[in-house]
Structure 1
Amino acid sequence: MTAPGATLSRYAGLTGATLLAVAAHLGGALPDAVPLGVTPLSIWRAPHGPATLTCWLAGTVLLVAAWWSLRGGAPSTRWAYVTAGLWTLPLLVAPPMGSRDVYSYACQGWTYAHGADPYAVGVAAAGCPWVETVAPIWRDTPAPYGPVFVLLAALAVHLGGGLTGTLVLLRVTAVAGLLLAALCLPPLARAGGVPPRRAVWLLLACPLVGVHLVAGAHNDAVMLGLLLCGLLVAVRRPGRPAALLLAGALLGLAVTVKATAVVVVPFAALAAVRGPNTVRALSRDGGWLAGGLLGAVLVTSALSGLGFGWIGGLTRSGDSEQWTSPPTAVGFVVDYAGELVGRNPQAVPLTRAVALLLLAAVLVVLWCRTLRAARDVHPPERPRVALHGAAMALVATVVLSPVFHPWYATWPLALLALTVTRTTWFVLPVAAAAFLALPDGTNLARFTKAPGALTMTALLLTALLLTARPRAARPRAARRPPR
């Protein structure tokens, strides 16, 4: 029997999702909504502006509160699936909302389908007929996505027959990625040592998933589906060459959708080892996994005819500067401090570069620690250790990347939901990220640059100080009994 509180959360979230869908119909990321508002006041003065923002705020509050209330776990796995599905229904039939990236996908697919290289020219230069729907900042930049997603976008253009049909098929593709992820969650949660009902709830019912991965049709959904599927095969069939080749191929396909997935691969290799975790065993089983990954990357790059041009496109993803990225926020603060003494340091490129170097070092340290931990546990517990290491690698990637958009938080969320007992520390920032975007795709970080940068820098310094405290001075957390 379902508790009354859970039932209340279910229908509060459904009401919130419905209000968000109404906001999208009134003032979402519609094709004729460009350019975006210059100030919040201009958005308020837009047609249906007050109704749009009221529905958006009320819907977001209800959806976030309902998700937060059951962060410890839904009543059952089936209940979590059904509720997440109910919340998805209004968003599934809503116009694009929260960002305009889906129009970039459509134009990049059109560019490739019409014989041009989306890694060499922007969608404006390629002559995409829908270029006016693309956010101005991305009209002249090459595609930063891998060849698999470019092929999927081109297929959507070919079958869609027009902009509306293309958008529908891109959303279907995103939902297919989420369905694949949904199938993988319960067995991965058991491998990670957490209740499946909690893992399913934390990921699938997350407001960022409904708004940005379903309604916004972000390709992160496809990446996550392939990533979780590859991890599941590695966890379920360690030491078996055919299975590890398949796992590597799935991970390779995830990388050729969005390159971020590559940080998970070394940890997947640890989960792939069967028996004693020796150097020889890791080289053998990890080699099969790497072979499958390299094969998938090489084959898709060759068959698409695009080669590795997509790697160069990644360098332009940092064209957007927002304080929601900690390295960028620190750069802003250094610039503000320089202006006080009559200087113009232009520190953002430097702080971003330092952060990327730091990220590389952190990933190496995380992998070495995970390797040691995997050697200290029994083989059945190794998947939990490897999955947790992969989750922390994605946390580090999001925190230290030069750009952060709200939907990026779904990357670490997917793996943290599988491995971590205490949820508040990562659920809280995910909930906060749900309030960063407006339905037309406007990011509120654009209007809060100075206070946002100062706040983010202060939070970063606080986190560093807490981390640097001597272990003896830290209060020991009481152990929670396993659920």
Structure 2
Amino acid sequence: MRWLGFSGALLLTVATLLNAAATPRWLTTVPAVVLAAAVAGMGTVVLAWVLLGRLVVTGGDAAPGPRALKWTVLLWAGPLLAAPPLFSRDVESYLAQGAIAARGLDPYVLGPRQGLGPADELTRNMSGYWLDTPSPYGPLFTAVQRLIAQVTGEQQLTGLLLYRLVALVGVALVLWAVPRLAARAGVPANAALWLGVANPLLLWHFVAGVHNDALMLGLMLAGTVLALSAVDERVQWWRLSAGVLLIALAADVKLPAVVALAVVGTALARRLGGTLWHLALTGTAMLASVAVVSAVVSLATGLGFGWLTTLGTSGQVNSWMAPTNWFGFLTGGIGSLFGLRITQTMIGVGQLVGYALIACGAVVVVHRQLRGSLGELPALGLLLAVVVAFGPAVQPWYLLWAAVPLATCLPAGRARTTLAALVALFAVLLPPLGGNFSGKVGQLVAGYLGGALVVAALAFLARRGAPERTHTASARR
């Protein structure tokens, strides 16, 4: 399975490199073929991951251990390091926002078109969704963006490589934290690593996609490891402080990481006595901690507090994956039949309902954790799942916010299988070359069908070979 997944990652990388090198003349004949190859590579990695999961679940001598799974992650990620950014163009926004900050302008006030000008190469390369929107990221990540822009200047390729390095730091932190959190929850480390780190969704969007969610998640999980281990018996205040600091820094990359402080604060409240008074005390302390850390980062970097006004920027694009937006799309579509333009208004109503559901869900989860009917890691995963499901914007990689913590605590059974199925589905939801096939539905369909046929053939061959391998293994025993 290890080399099957490597072959898929290599095929995906080669296909995307061919697409990046394509000339306009090629675009009339090649894209469907290249897309089919890319989809086949994606599907091959997903297939290898599923087959690997069967070995992990069944156990026995053939099951890979934690060390083997870590090497598998590195092997599958290797080819993707040579691929151009896949599945989204967010990294181009990172480059543009960093350039704005490096020029002494405020990325929390100016969008790339205003800050850099429409003729700038960074502006021309960007997705049109974010040309006129300010940065939605916290001060820590904006400081990283500014530093990369100052170091690389006009060298976009070098800037891309540095952003990929930042993402890999996040992945390394996730790889460090997951086995430790799994040990805490009594889940086998190899099962947690398979579902939480070796999954194709993480490879696509953290390694190949270069999303800053990797750094956010890595800092958050590392901080959670330290903070929760500090309240096991006697409270180790220095370790707790270090964990809270890392989580607060994660929130200064992207705000959703702050929910980990709710879990840590509730765990500390249980250790101190478990009353609502203790919860109020520890909750206040957690809020004060993240406020102090954010203030220090904002002032030390000279970026100020403008980021507080742009936290909702990502919700300005109507995400079709966000359930809270479906109400607006539905009612708006009905209204358009009668000449009414109410889509945006109804989307706003749906998002308000979503925020209320997030608040209610958080109260329920924290209350159950405080009473001891819900563990710390399930609470973290559920809180993040609620934030994703009812937030104003949903992207495939957002699933990782909840999936990785849940991978560390879900026992074998229906819940783990359901999560694995969601990961596999979201891993093939977006075409890696989708940005180059806008308005060409026929090519998309042809590419996906071609890729699916290749993967189906590989799955058939793997299924035929399974009984023979099982018989051979039994004979050896």
TM-score using structure 2 length? 0.82
429-438 or 402-411, larger mean C-alpha shift:
429-438
Q: 2:104 aligns with which of 115, 119, 130?
A: 115
2:42 maps to: 60
Bigger drift between 433-442 and 110-119 goes to: 433-442
State which of 37, 56, 68 in structure 2 corresponds to 1:79. Answer: 68
RMSD, matched Cα: 2.6
Which of 229, 232, 253 is 1:257 aligned to?
253
Match of 1:176 in 2: 169
Residue 94 of structure 2: aligned partner: 105
| Selected match of 2:398 from 408, 421, 426 | 408
Equivalent residue in structure 2 for 1:439, among 401, 421, 432: 432
Stretch of structure 1 that moved more, 131-140 or 344-353: 344-353
Matches within 5 A, 1:41-60: 45=27, 48-60=30-42
1:48 is displaced (CA, Å) by 3.4
The aligned length equals 421
Tell me which of 147, 169, 192 is aligned to 1:155: 147
Structure 1 window deviating more from structure 2 (301-310 vs 283-292): it is 283-292
Residue of structure 2 in register with 1:91 after alignment: 80
Q: CA deviation at 1:160?
A: 2.6
Q: 1:277 aligns with which of 274, 279, 286?
A: 274
Distance across 1 between alignment mates of 2:306 and 2:252: 12
Check the 8 A contact 1:322/1:445 in 2, yes or no: no
Distance 1:406 1:44 in 2: 30
Deviation at residue 336 of structure 1 after TM alignment: 2.4
- Go from structure 1 to structure 2 and tell me whether the alpha carbon gap of 1:89 and 1:340 turns closer, same or farther (over 3 Å shift): same
| Separation in structure 2 between the aligned mates of residue 343 and residue 408 of structure 1, nearest angstrom | 33
The 2-side partners of 1:445 and 1:322 are apart by 17
Residues 327-359 of structure 1 show CA distances to partners (whole Å, capped at 9, x for unaligned) of 112321222233445544322222122112221
Q: Kindly indicate whether the alpha-carbon contact (under 8 Å) linking 2:9 and 2:80 is maintained by their aligned counterparts in 1.
A: yes
Q: What amino acid is aligned across from residue 320 of structure 1 in structure 2?
A: V
Structure 1 residues 364, 46: closer, same or farther in 2, change over 3 A? farther
Gaps of 5+ in 1: 1-8, 34-41, 375-383, 449-483
TM-score (norm 1): 0.81
Q: Which runs of 5+ in 2 are unaligned?
A: 57-62, 442-477
| Residues 44 and 53 in structure 1, CA contact (< 8 A), matched pair in contact too | no
User: Which residue of structure 2 aligns with residue 353 of structure 1?
Assistant: 352
- Code of the residue aligned with 2:392 in structure 1: it is P
Once structures 1 and 2 are overlaid, which stretch shifts more, 117-126 or 435-444? 435-444
Q: After TM superposition, give the deviation of residue 438 of structure 1 in Å.
A: 2.3
CA distance in 1, matches of 2:281, 2:350: 39
1:130 matches 2:126:
no
Contact 2:217–2:250 (CA<8 Å) still a contact in 1? Answer: yes
- Residue matched to 2:325: 328
What is the rounded CA distance, in whole Å, between the counterparts of 1:79 and 1:313 in structure 2?
Answer: 43
Distance 2:327 2:283 in 1: 38
Paired position in structure 1 for 2:203: 210
1:419 is paired with a residue whose SS is coil
Distance 1:360-1:333 versus aligned 2 partners, 3 A rule: same
Pick one of 198, 205, 227 that aligns with 2:191.
198
Task: Please say if residues 21 and 91 of structure 1, whose CA atoms lie closer than 8 Å, have aligned partners that are also in contact.
Answer: yes
> Kindly, what percent of the aligned residue pairs are identical?
34
1:314 equivalent to 2:314? Answer no
Structure 1 pair 365–46 and aligned structure 2 pair: CA distance change class (3 A): farther
Residues 341 and 280 of structure 1: CA distance in aligned 2, closer, same or farther (over 3 Å):
closer
Report the Cα distance in structure 1 between the residues aligned to 2:325 and 2:438, rounded to whole angstroms. 12
Q: Does 1:419 align with 2:401?
A: no
Please state whether the residue corresponding to 1:130 is helix, strand or coil. Answer: helix
Q: 2:30, 2:66 → 1: CA distance?
A: 39
CA distance in 1, matches of 2:105, 2:121: 14
Q: Which of the residues 224, 227, 249 maps onto 1:234?
A: 227
Structure 2 match to 1:481: none
Q: Residue type matched to 1:130 in 2?
A: L
Q: Quickly say closer, same or farther: Cα 1:444–1:246, change in 2 above 3 A.
A: farther
Matched-pair contact (CA < 8 Å) for 1:244–1:272: no
Please give the alpha-carbon distance, in whole angstroms, between the structure 1 residues aligned to 2:438 and 2:372. Answer: 39
The letter of the residue matching 2:425 is A
Partner residue in 1 for 2:386 = 396
CA contact (8 A) 2:228 2:240 kept: no
Task: Name the aligned partner's letter for residue 390 of structure 1.
Answer: L
Post-superposition CA distance 1:80-136 (Å, at most 9, x none): 101111000000111111111001101111111110110000112111541111101
